[in-house]
Amino acid sequence: MNRKDFPMLTKDIIYFDNGATTLKPYAVIDKIVDYYENYSANAHRGDYDISLKVDMAYENTRELVKKFINARYTKEIIFTSGATQSLNMIANGFFSQYLEPDDEIIITKSEHASNVIPWFNLVQKCQAKIKYVELDKNHKVTLSNLQKQITSKTKVISLAAITNVVGDIRPIKEICQIAHQKNIFVVVDGAQSVPHSLTDVQELDCDFLAFSAHKMCGPTGVGVLYGKIELLEHMVPQNFGGGMNETFDNEDSVFLKELPTRLEAGTPNIAGVIGLGAAIEYLQDIGINKIASYEKELKSYFIEKLKLIPHIKLINPDSDSGIIAFNVDGIFSQDVACYLNKYHICVRAGNHCAKILKDEVGVTNTCRISLYFYNTKDEIDYVIELLKDKDKIIREMI
């Protein structure tokens, strides 16, 4: 759907790498160009007209994000460079103050590196420990397996709402209920979920949420950190500098501004934030539930066809998101990706930044197809035809 909105879709490609980044519609591109061409000034310097306009556009995105994820307060929305920075801020700005030696952090082996390494780094500083939820045979998190890892030392559970390789959808609301009964915080990596399904932070009751604009038709280099206001108040800034201080005279007298400005030091990615606003409006116009159900339909269509090809090994046929991980029997995933590239089909090969997932699925590298609403059944049919003939793949992969 909406293919005419995307200039990249006129370039003779089939784009199946939406888990890595998504294409940008004119609505987003034009909004960014408009900023650079017509009111290119800094934010928060509102003494002249164009700067005031920047302020309004920048803060308007905050309002849009708040509504998009149904946050309670606008100041619970912090702009970052992306989900990675958001997760690092959560680990280093909040939990580094909060954790004590021997405290436990629960994650899984199917998390993206951004939801693993910040915690690895933190446990070394705090002498805390990482525990992993055992995944079931479909590589999913079950509540009972989660509960097995919870102890009196557990302080935080940090999970992707949808993982980037297995594509399983986690029961975040139920996880929050279990966690909060035991005073455990829940951090949600929303990089793969916010662009594809309705996210309501009040309904979920998660404590923190991180996501990136570029995976939801927005620009690269910008993302969001959501946190409950009472928690963000205790977050220590990781960056100090302009824009975030109230006054300072010497090292003993630095006074910081209120939220959210306190956590956004320096000139922000203004064009990016404005572009994110346009992306949210664009997705809302289509309807996020409509996107979710269309993707689900595409995914089932794809999986049913892939299942009929004997040399295709599916890693996650039962997951509900638009992510399909597979291998062609006996062929290295990168060779399959290079073969498809000859037909201008963009798929990803590798470990997809989930390097400890191999312990769970027993395969280090896979091909990954990740869908979005502008993909079509015709595109799927074309790829299926190309994957059917294993001899052709071997012939043409080099």
Partner 1 sequence: MDPTLKREIILENYQHPYNKETINNPKYIKVNSNNESCIDNINLYILIEDSIVKDIKFDGEACAITTSATSIMIKLLIGQNIDTIQEYITNYENMIDERDYNNELLAEANCFDEIYKQQNRKNCALLPWKGLKKALEEYKKGIEN
Q: Site residues (CB under 8 A) for partner 1? A: 332-335, 338, 341, 349-351, 364-365, 394-395, 397-398
Residue 46 one-letter amino acid? G
CB nearer to partner 1: pick between 305 and 352? 352
Which bin fits 205, alpha (ψ -120 to 50), beta or left (φ > 0)?
Answer: left
Closest distance to partner 1 from the beta carbon of 392 (Å):
13
Closest by CA to 386, choosing from 334, 332, 341, 323, is 341
Closest distance to partner 1 from the beta carbon of 66 (Å):
38
CB nearer to partner 1: pick between 238 and 351? 351
Closest distance to partner 1 from the beta carbon of 338 (Å):
7
CB nearer to partner 1: pick between 358 and 388? 358
Residue 231 one-letter amino acid? L
Strand partners, 14: 345
Closest distance to partner 1 from the beta carbon of 137 (Å):
24
Closest by CA to 208, choosing from 37, 88, 56, is 88
CB nearer to partner 1: pick between 182 and 392? 392
Closest distance to partner 1 from the beta carbon of 364 (Å):
6
**Distance (Å, rounded) from C-alpha 117 to C-alpha 122?**
8
Q: Is 338 a catalytic residue?
A: no
CA 244 from chain centre, in angstroms, equals 26
Question: Catalytic one among 126, 176, 353, 367?
Answer: 353
CB nearer to partner 1: pick between 173 and 395? 395
Residue 45 one-letter amino acid? R
Closest by CA to 328, choosing from 347, 342, 344, is 347
Specify whether the CB–CB gap between 103 and 128 falls below 8 A: yes
Specify whether the CB–CB gap between 367 and 333 falls below 8 A: yes
Catalytic residues: 353
